Chains A and B, each alone.
Chain A
Amino acid sequence: AQKITQTQPGMFVQEKEAVTLDCTYDTSDPSYGLFWYKQPSSGEMIFLIYQGSYDQQNATEGRYSLNFQKARKSANLVISASQLGDSAMYFCAMRANAGGTSYGKLTFGQGTILTVHP
């Protein structure tokens, strides 16, 4: 079974500062992917960034980067230069890749509410 843990129910950050949202995971699948999604108050789930378990380098997408530490089973999201529009719920999720026992579905964490202050 897969499990995602997000231990920060809420985080606050000043506009233009960087913030790290924590995510730890547990899985018995040998190959897996980690995803981060943003859910604003309007409700839509927006894909941010992906990290494969065998990727050698940490993923980056614009202001988003993923601090992937495989031995610690953590995949923290770093948002640089926070903007007011970054205020939202953020979810970490994982999926087994080909050959895994949970291939296809995403398993989500509980989420972290990020509030960006001006």
Chain B
Amino acid sequence: DTGVSQDPRHKITKRGQNVTFRCDPISEHNRLYWYRQTLGQGPEFLTYFQNEAQLEKSRLLSDRFSAERPKGSFSTLEIQRTEQGDSAMYLCASSPAGSSQPQHFGDGTRLSIL
């Protein structure tokens, strides 16, 4: 069990640029989740996948955000035309199926918009 892996750990970019983050879940987990966390707040749900199917998207996920999990393994989260308000920690989590199964989180990608 190597844990949930996220890349990069930090991303600094200029406003208006596109960024893409990657998440590799724990290998036997078929569910994958994306959250956003701003300083001093709890994580906010963005979207989640079961295998390759995207089952739910938050209203927080504007048209500039897109997430994929093409083969039911790793996932990418892309933000187009970044804005100052996108600065946050982006957390990925994975879990097996089952209502009592906890979600295991990666270390996150910290995005800073200049």
Q: Known A108-B42, A109-B42, A110-B42; judge A50-B107 contact (CB<8 A).
A: no
B99 pairs with A33, CB closer than 8 A: yes
Question: How many residues belonging to A are interface residues under a CB distance threshold of 8 Å?
Answer: 25
7 A-B pairs whose Cβ atoms sit less than 8 Å apart in the complex: A35-B102, A37-B105, A44-B106, A52-B99, A105-B58, A106-B35, A110-B42
- Closest Cβ of chain A to B33, distance in Å, is 7
Give the number of A-B contacts (CB < 8 Å).
61
Residues of A within 8 A of B44 (CB): 108
A47 pairs with B48, CB closer than 8 A: no
Residues of A within 8 A of B35 (CB): 106
Instruction: Give the 4 A-B residue pairs with the shortest CB-CB distance, closest first.
Output: A108-B42, A97-B99, A45-B105, A105-B45
Within 93-107 of B, Cβ neighbours of A (below 8 Å) are at: 93, 99-100, 102-107
Within 62-114 of B, Cβ neighbours of A (below 8 Å) are at: 89, 91, 93, 99-100, 102-108
Q: A104-B55, A106-B103 are in contact. List 17 more A-B contacts (CB 8 A).
A: A43-B89, A43-B107, A44-B106, A45-B43, A47-B102, A47-B103, A50-B102, A93-B42, A97-B99, A97-B100, A104-B31, A105-B33, A106-B43, A108-B42, A109-B42, A110-B40, A110-B42
Residues of B within 8 A of A105 (CB): 33, 45, 48, 56, 58
CB 8 Å contact bits of A46-68 with B (1 = contact, 0 = none)? 11001010000000000000000
